[in-house]
Structure formats: structure tokens, C-alpha cells
């Protein structure tokens, strides 16, 4: 039995970053950049008004106040997307709208609220400093700047930035293809009638969703009964994927065939059994470039071990390093116990109350109780040598998202 830390190290050693592909900008959300993005121009490309008002020479307004406004002559108008024909010289102003090119000569904008106009004259009631209400060229992005490095996870903000850099397509890392097999003769497809002793397959659906959440491309190979021949057939089919996830059949029972079938399929085992609870009998092996995870059948074990071992593998395949969960300090609201000699992952619900976080452990921490995962938005990783933590103590909760 090895520690989770050691297991993770072994998994990461086997991961290779996947090749890249070009996608349309609007398909790049939640993908990972496979290229450095430089700007070919300044953003904005010109000095522009940041407010609706009057483009002026700041010096002209020095003496302006409510009782003694400065009066300037309006010589032109500029709206967004257009440039005024006239320039601004002392004693003159151009009426200007947000986003319009700042006319030549002007170095500030007085906002409408501080003015009053009549015919072709405007009274300025407040002085402005040079550069006031102007957004200068290159203020957002400078020409030649590396705006987004390779490995960046593309969120809505990055999509917007790529658009303002005029990128119609971007190079992203290919999504890892993940095959999912549920093993167990008791498993039934949701929607089908349930015979005595049978249960619905939930693992492959939860795992499918976890893969999607991590940026992978899952495929449910389906349910395979505890039959060596059938399982071997399906496993061989699934070994063309980047990752193969199996759930169930990986512990010590008479019908736990996964290890043996994987061996027959040519999968080289790198570990079996990790010192964690839930999910000790987790298996990991490789065949060529395919990473193979045998996750225990209990729904919580399968989900938690995905979080701890599969998610980092998918992230690393995508060139992402940020698989670690955020941690938040919280007050434990009920005593928790570790009855194993393994690192124990306690599912908790984190609630904010008056600026403080409270952690409520799920009422049942059994690995067959999937409701504990539905309950939880966080987990507490109790080290193997900590026997219990009393209610009221401060704990670190790792956020599940």
C-alpha cells in the first residue's frame, strides 16, 4: 500500500501533454491554450475619450469653478468610431462621446455633468488635469506584449481578450479521450427495469460528468458483467483511448476480475492499493500511452479517487498545473473520526455565516452513501495519524468544484 502522495507522483510520471488542435474562438471556452498569445498592436490603438463630454486642453480649465466657469468655443463633434475634423487649440473644445478618438491638441475630457452648453459655447464648471477621462493607446495591452501564455485555461475573460486581439481561431490542447467501463453483474442501465439484487449504474455517469468538468472527452463504453471474457473484450476496445477508467471489481472478492483482465490485456500495473479512505483498492497501470485506472465500485470511492488521481492526470495531459483544490479555513461543526490508518477524506458542507465558514460533515461517511457527495461542497483530508477532530476546532476544507 502506498501513500496518495506517492501514487500521484507515479501517475504524473506517466503523463504526457497531448498535442494541439485549432478551434474557432467560440469553441475555445474551458480549453487550454497550446500557444503563447502576443499582441500585434496596442489596445486601444489610439487615445480615446473615456467619458461623454468635451475634449479640451487641461490648462484652459485651471481656473474653472462653479461660480466662475471657463467658456470655450465648441468647434466640432466626435462620436465613437469617428474622428473629429477639427483639432483643439486654446479656448476651444470638441464635443466628444465615449470611445471616440481624442482630437489632436486635446489632452483631457471634461464630463458633460460638469458643463453647460449653449449654441456653440460650453461653460466648464470644473478644472481637469491632463489625461483626465482619457484612455490612452496601449493602456490595456501593449504591442508585442505576451498577453496569454501557453497553458492558460480559457475562461470568458480570455475569450474576450482573444477577440480583442483579433484571433478568430486559437491553438488549444486536444481533450484527453476517456473511456469509462462500469463492471459488475448487479449493474443495470438507468431507465431499465430493476430485477432483484440489482442496482442502477451510477459510477459511469458520475465519472463521465467529472471528466467533462475537468476538460476531458468521456465515452461510456457501458456496463460489463463480472465475466472475464466479456471484460477483456471491452478493455481491449477501450485501450485506444488516452485514459481508461474502470469502476468496481478491483478489490479482493471472488469476482473482482479487473486486475487479472488488465494484466491479460497487457496493462503494466504501477500500483494497487493506496492508503486512503474511501477507496483503498485503487489500481493504476499503463499500456503504451493509455493510463488505466481501476477505481473501487463504491460510488464515493470512485468519485473521490477520480478527484485525487484522475483529475490531476487529465489536467497534466492538458498542460494545466492547477489541479490542487482551494483550501478554506472553517470551524468544524461536528466531531469527525478517522477509524483507519489511511488518509481519510471527510465530505463536508461549507456554509458562510457572518464572514466565517462553518463545516458540516455529511451525516454518513460510508463509501456506499452517494448522498454524502451530494451533500458536500468540500472535503477535509484527515492525515492517517489523526484519530479525531472535535467540534469547534479549526479545519482546512478543500473546495470541490
Q: Which residues bind ligand AMP (CB under 6 A)?
A: 182, 184, 186-187, 199, 201-204, 247-251, 253, 296-299, 368
Q: How far is the CB of 182 from ligand AMP (least distance, A)?
A: 4
232: helix, strand or coil: helix
> Given the complex with ligand AMP, which of 247 and 308 has the nearer CB atom?
247
Question: What values do phi and psi take at 109, rounded to 5?
Answer: -125, 130
Q: How far is the CB of 329 from ligand AMP (least distance, A)?
A: 34
> Given the complex with ligand AMP, which of 272 and 323 has the nearer CB atom?
272
Q: How far is the CB of 281 from Mg ion (least distance, A)?
A: 11
Q: How far is the CB of 195 from ligand AMP (least distance, A)?
A: 14
* Neighbour tally for 227: CB within 10 Å: 14
Half-sphere exposure of 49 (CA within 13 A, CB side): 30
Q: Which of 9, 312, 315 is nearest to 173 (CA)?
A: 315
Cα(178)–Cα(220) distance, rounded to whole angstroms? 9
> Given the complex with ligand AMP, which of 159 and 187 has the nearer CB atom?
187
Site size for Mg ion (CB under 5 A): 4
Q: How far is the CB of 205 from ligand AMP (least distance, A)?
A: 8
- Residue in this structure with the C-alpha cell 486642453, named with its chain if needed: 57
Contact range with Mg ion by CB under 5 A, out of 67-75, 87-95, 169-177, 240-248: 240-248
176 binds Mg ion (CB under 5 A): no
- Residue in this structure with the C-alpha cell 481624442, named with its chain if needed: 102
> Given the complex with ligand AMP, which of 53 and 248 has the nearer CB atom?
248
Indicate the DSSP class of residue 153: B
**Which of 103, 184, 216, 294 touches Mg ion by CB under 5 A?**
184
Cβ-closest residue to ligand AMP?
Answer: 297
Angle value at C-alpha 392, between 390 and 393, nearest 5 degrees? 65
> Given the complex with ligand AMP, which of 281 and 361 has the nearer CB atom?
281
Spell 254-286 as b/e; 16+ CB within 10 A means b.
Answer: eebbbbebbeebebeebbbbbbbbbbbbbbbbb
Beta carbons of 399 and 327 less than 8 angstroms apart: yes
> Given the complex with ligand AMP, which of 363 and 368 has the nearer CB atom?
368
> Given the complex with ligand AMP, which of 91 and 368 has the nearer CB atom?
368
**Which of 248, 279, 285, 378 touches Mg ion by CB under 5 A?**
248
Residue 54 partner contact from Mg ion, ligand AMP, none using kind-dependent CB cut-offs of 5 to 8 Å: none
CA distances from 34 to 22, 64, 153, 271 (A): 9, 54, 10, 31
Of residues 285 through 324, those in contact with Mg ion by CB under 5 A are: 297
Helix extents (H) in 147-295? 156-164, 203-213, 228-238, 258-264
Q: How far is the CB of 294 from Mg ion (least distance, A)?
A: 11
Q: How far is the CB of 138 from ligand AMP (least distance, A)?
A: 56
Residues of this chain that bind Mg ion (CB under 5 A): 184, 248-249, 297
Amino acid at each position: 500500500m502506498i501513500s496518495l502522495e506517492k501514487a500521484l507522483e507515479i501517475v504524473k510520471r506517466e503523463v504526457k501533454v497531448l498535442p494541439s488542435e485549432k478551434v474557432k474562438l467560440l469553441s475555445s471556452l474551458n480549453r487550454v491554450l497550446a500557444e503563447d498569445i502576443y499582441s500585434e498592436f496596442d489596445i486601444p490603438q489610439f487615445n480615446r475619450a473615456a467619458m461623454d463630454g468635451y475634449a479640451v486642453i487641461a490648462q484652459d480649465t485651471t481656473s474653472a469653478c462653479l461660480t466662475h466657469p471657463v467658456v470655450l468655443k465648441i468647434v466640432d463633434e466626435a462620436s465613437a468610431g469617428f474622428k473629429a475634423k477639427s483639432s483643439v487649440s486654446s479656448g476651444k473644445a470638441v464635443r466628444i462621446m465615449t470611445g471616440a478618438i481624442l482630437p489632436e491638441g486635446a489632452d483631457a475630457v471634461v464630463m458633460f455633468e460638469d458643463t453647460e452648453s449653449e449654441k456653440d459655447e460650453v461653460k466648464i464648471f470644473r478644472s481637469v488635469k491632463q489625461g483626465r477621462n482619457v484612455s490612452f493607446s496601449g493602456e490595456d495591452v501593449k504591442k508585442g506584449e505576451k498577453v496569454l501564455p501557453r497553458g492558460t485555461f480559457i475562461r470568458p475573460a480570455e475569450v474576450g481578450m482573444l477577440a480583442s486581439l483579433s484571433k478568430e481561431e486559437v491553438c488549444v490542447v486536444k481533450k484527453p479521450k476517456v473511456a469509462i467501463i462500469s463492471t459488475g453483474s448487479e449493474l443495470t442501465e438507468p431507465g431499465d427495469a430493476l430485477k432483484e439484487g440489482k442496482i442502477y449504474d451510477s459510477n459511469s455517469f458520475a465519472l463521465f460528468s467529472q471528466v467533462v468538468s475537468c476538460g476531458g472527452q468521456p465515452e461510456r463504453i457501458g456496463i460489463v458483467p463480472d465475466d472475464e471474457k466479456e471484460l477483456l473484450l471491452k478493455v481491449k476496445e477501450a485501450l485506444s483511448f488516452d485514459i481508461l477508467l474502470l469502476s468496481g471489481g478491483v478489490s479482493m472478492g471472488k469476482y473482482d476480475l479487473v486486475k487479472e483482465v488488465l494484466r491479460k490485456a497487457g496493462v503494466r500495473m504501477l500500483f494497487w492499493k493506496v492508503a486512503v479512505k474511501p477507496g483503498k483498492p485503487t489500481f493504476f497501470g499503463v499500456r503504451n500511452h493509455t493510463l488505466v485506472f481501476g477505481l473501487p465500485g463504491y460510488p464515493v470511492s470512485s468519485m473521490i479517487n477520480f478527484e485525487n488521481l484522475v483529475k490531476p492526470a487529465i489536467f497534466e495531459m492538458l498542460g494545466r498545473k492547477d489541479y490542487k483544490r482551494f483550501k478554506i479555513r472553517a470551524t468544524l461543526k461536528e466531531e469527525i473520526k478517522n477509524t483507519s490508518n489511511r488518509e481519510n477524506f471527510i465530505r463536508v458542507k461549507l456554509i458562510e455565516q457572518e464572514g466565517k465558514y462553518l463545516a458540516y460533515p455529511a451525516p454518513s461517511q460510508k463509501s456506499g452513501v452517494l448522498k454524502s457527495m451530494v451533500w458536500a461542497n468540500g472535503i477535509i483530508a484527515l492525515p492517517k495519524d489523526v484519530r479525531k477532530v472535535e467540534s469547534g476546532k479549526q479545519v482546512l476544507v478543500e473546495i470541490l468544484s
